[in-house]
Amino acid sequence: MKFAVVVFPGSNCDRDMHHAVKEILGEEADLVWYQCSNLENYDGILLPGGFSYGDYLRSGAIAATSDMMNQMVEHAAKGKPVLGVCNGFQVLTESGLLPGALMRNQNVSFMCRQEELVVENNETMFTSLYEKGEVVRFPIAHGEGNYFCDQETLEELKANNQIVFTYKNNPNGSLEDIAGIMNNKGNVLGMMPHPERAVEALLGSDDGVRLFKSVIQNWRKSFVTA
């Protein structure tokens, strides 16, 4: 499987993402500058964390207007997996690929630490190697991770089982403890915690490995054997 790790001005977790996929999982991965005009040759798209465009206007707002995102919308519509982490999640909401918005943390502070997450839905292409209700440890590193949506959207997320991860001990005030959601089609996942920084036990957790392995295994079942 070949991944594109999209790099915007201000991205700072792109190398972490690239390392996780290429060095830990042994898959192909390229760092793709946001002005690249062709994502056709990639099987999956990864939006890393950081501060795209310095977080001006709102986190992810400027990146969401790039030509690269127009391509990403097209590829998502074809069913290709798209994972947005931290700032990548913010870009996905700003672009409309995922509903809701990420606001300033409730305590108005940047937080960087390990957090326990609950796997709410393990019947997705991103979480099939986890158990439902399993508690995993991923690090967070954000100042605007407070997820919010209106009541109608929240009811839709619940009805369609689109809430994938929740915080066990909500660190940022997110509505319903939400840490990660997916689109209705199930191929776009946005989450604030960093699975790419949880791929080596030496660093505190390797719980993120199974997220990437889930994507790879499910992609091979759906696209390679189709």
Active site residues: 86, 194, 196
Closest CA to 12 of 81, 94, 82, 88: 88
Using CA atoms, how far residue 82 sits from 39, 77, 85, 193, in Å, is 12, 10, 10, 16
Question: CB within 8 A of 16, min separation 6: which ones?
Answer: 48, 194, 196, 197
Helix, strand, coil shares, percent, the chain, to 5? 30, 25, 40
Q: Are 27 and 4 in contact (CB under 8 A)?
A: no
Q: Are 86 and 194 in contact (CB under 8 A)?
A: yes
Distance, CA of 45 to CA of 39 (rounded, Å): 8
Closest CA to 1 of 223, 195, 216: 216
Question: CB within 8 A of 8, min separation 6: which ones?
Answer: 34, 50, 52, 53, 63, 66, 91
